[in-house]
């Protein structure tokens, strides 16, 4: 399992001009899942996502607060291409 985390002021997923999901300030997480991933892998990623300190504190000191600390939102998006393997093509 792989996750790419991006801090956002807001984010949304749109399909055919219809907003499927949206959040205000928080994190947009692209998640790649493969057939060998387990429940333990998922639990690890969730724990890490909730505890990783990627936000500034009240004094603007960087990397001090987590998503939980700030009570921000999370938007998770399936992204199977995180497991893509690039091969030289000629």
Exposed, middle or buried by CB within 10 Å (0-12, 13-18, 19+), for 61?
A: exposed
The Cβ of residue 55 has, within 10 Å, a number of other Cβ atoms equal to 18
The residues that are catalytic are 79-81
Element of type H or E holding 48: helix 39-51
């Amino acid at each position: 399992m792989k996750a790419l985390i991006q801090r956002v002021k807001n984010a949304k997923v749109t399909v055919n001009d219809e907003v499927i999901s949206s959040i205000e300030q928080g994190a947009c997480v692209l998640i790649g899942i493969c057939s060998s991933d387990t429940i333990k892998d998922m639990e690890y990623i969730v724990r890490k996502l909730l505890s990783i300190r990627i936000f500034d504190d009240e004094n603007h000191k960087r990397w001090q607060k987590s998503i939980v600390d700030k009570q921000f939102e999370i938007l998770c998006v399936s992204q199977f291409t995180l497991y893509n393997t690039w091969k030289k093509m000629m």
